[in-house]
């Protein structure tokens, strides 16, 4: 189905300006890349919420998020009206666009272990998923950086990962870590060949051998988060990056090391994690300190 023609006809009938049409088609192309090979008839509200959340985490402005949301409303309303889909997935959800503020949901150290160890590496998909999420947590890399990894970017002998042109087109090298190295090696040496016969190309592939889509990465994360009974906490794949940084700082890592690991341009961005840690300490202090929670009476 040529959705571009359908959209263009709709936009022209509505009398939209050429500039507005171009902006909407920019959002159309961005969404279709995220959609990958998923059937539009299978798109639900959770998928669309995940898409907008991904745009937020990639640092798009509030204006761009609003434009993306407006396009989705136009697109799925049109598809529903033309009977290409049975129901409009946006009719049963309210996606709120807000300014980015502070740190997103972070798993504590016990929850990360619970999440990761629940992914049993006994099938090809299980081995791949365990390798992906161990790598995300160990390195703190972004989801898009992970799916853009090629085999040549891994140096298993040296225990290093080369992240090519991450956010702000900045290259960096990060340590692989023994645990992530174990599962990545298992994936590359044993299971990847079941999906992809080529030795080079993307590290993480879909069952057809192509590069894994960002939406598929989030979908697999949602599946395993549910299996670990950690749903409804606002966790996304980006939470593993936040968790990596937070846990390093909690355990005494130098803030400048964390800045280099995450690829932050400014140390002020990294410093936001220390604020989050302090807020947690304050909550614990208020809850458990006898002079705060009034467990013990005042001396008189």
Q: Judge whether 297 lies within some domain.
A: no
Distance, in Å, from the CA atom of 145 to the CA atom of 166, rounded to the nearest integer, reads: 6
Same domain for 70 and 135, yes or no, is no
Under the banding of pLDDT at 50, 70 and 90, the label for residue 153 is very high
DSSP assignment, residue 205? B
- Write down the pLDDT at residue 181: 94
CB 241 within 8 A of CB 141: yes
What CATH number is attached to the domain comprising 67? 1.10.150
Any alpha helices (H) in 156-289, and if so which ranges?
178-186, 192-195, 214-227, 237-250, 255-262, 267-288
Same domain for 209 and 153, yes or no, is yes
Same domain for 85 and 115, yes or no, is no
Same domain for 123 and 184, yes or no, is yes
- At 62-110, the pLDDT tens digits run 888 889 999 999 999 999 998 899 889 888 666 655 544 444 678 999 9
Distance, in Å, from the CA atom of 109 to the CA atom of 247, rounded to the nearest integer, reads: 7
Distance, in Å, from the CA atom of 52 to the CA atom of 171, rounded to the nearest integer, reads: 26
Please tell me the least confidently modeled range out of 14-23, 124-133, 257-266, 272-281.
272-281
The mean pLDDT of the chain is 83
Q: Judge whether 287 lies within some domain.
A: no
DSSP string over 166-197 = -GGG--EEEE--HHHHHHHHHIIIIIHHHH--
Domain that holds residue 193: 109-282
Q: Judge whether 20 lies within some domain.
A: yes
Same domain for 7 and 74, yes or no, is yes
Same domain for 58 and 124, yes or no, is no
Same domain for 88 and 167, yes or no, is no
Residue 300 scores a pLDDT above 70 = no
Among 92, 122, 153, give the residue marking a domain's end.
Answer: 92
- Rg (C-alpha) for the chain, rounded Å, is 22
Same domain for 244 and 119, yes or no, is yes
- Number of domains the chain is built from: 2
What CATH number is attached to the domain comprising 208? 1.10.443.10
- Write down the pLDDT at residue 96: 56
What positions carry a catalytic annotation?
Answer: 142, 167, 238, 241, 264, 273
Q: Judge whether 288 lies within some domain.
A: no
Q: Judge whether 129 lies within some domain.
A: yes
Residues in the chain: 300
Same domain for 118 and 261, yes or no, is yes
Please tell me the least confidently modeled range out of 28-37, 196-205, 270-279.
270-279
* pLDDT, mean of residues 127-137: 96
Q: What pTM was estimated for this model as a whole?
A: 0.66
Same domain for 248 and 115, yes or no, is yes
Same domain for 58 and 122, yes or no, is no
Of residues 186, 216, 245, the one with CA closest to residue 54: 216
Same domain for 154 and 70, yes or no, is no
**110/250: higher pLDDT:** 110
- Write down the pLDDT at residue 221: 93
Q: Judge whether 182 lies within some domain.
A: yes
Residue with tokens 């740190």: 103
Residue 167 scores a pLDDT above 70 = no
């Amino acid at each position: 189905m040529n959705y571009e023609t359908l959209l263009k006809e709709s936009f022209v009938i509505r009398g939209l300006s050429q500039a507005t049409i171009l902006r909407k088609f920019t959002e159309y192309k961005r969404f279709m890349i995220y959609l990958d090979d998923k059937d539009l008839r299978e798109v639900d509200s959770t998928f669309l919420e995940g898409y907008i959340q991904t745009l937020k985490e990639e640092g798009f402005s509030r204006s761009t998020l609003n434009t993306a949301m407006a396009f989705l409303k136009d697109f799925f309303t049109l598809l529903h009206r033309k009977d290409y889909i049975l129901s409009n997935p946006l009719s049963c959800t309210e996606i709120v666009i807000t300014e980015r503020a502070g740190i997103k949901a972070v798993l504590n150290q016990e929850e990360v272990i619970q999440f990761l160890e629940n992914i049993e590496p006994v099938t090809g998909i299980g081995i791949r998923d365990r390798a992906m999420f161990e790598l995300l947590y160990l390195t703190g890399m972004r989801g898009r950086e992970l799916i853009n990894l090629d085999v040549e970017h891994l140096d298993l002998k040296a225990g290093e990962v080369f992240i090519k042109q991450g956010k702000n087109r900045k290259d960096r090298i990060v340590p692989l870590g023994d645990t992530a190295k174990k599962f990545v090696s298992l994936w590359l040496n044993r299971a990847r060949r079941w999906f992809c016969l080529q030795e080079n190309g993307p590290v993480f592939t879909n069952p057809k051998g192509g590069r894994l889509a960002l939406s598929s990465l989030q979908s697999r994360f949602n599946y395993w988060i549910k299996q670990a009974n950690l749903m409804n906490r606002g966790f996304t794949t980006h939470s593993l990056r936040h968790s990596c940084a937070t846990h390093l700082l909690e355990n005494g890592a130098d803030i400048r090391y964390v800045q280099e690991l995450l690829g932050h341009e400014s140390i002020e961005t990294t410093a936001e994690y220390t604020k989050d840690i302090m807020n947690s300490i304050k909550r614990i202090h208020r809850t458990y300190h006898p002079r705060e929670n009034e467990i013990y009476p005042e001396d008189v």
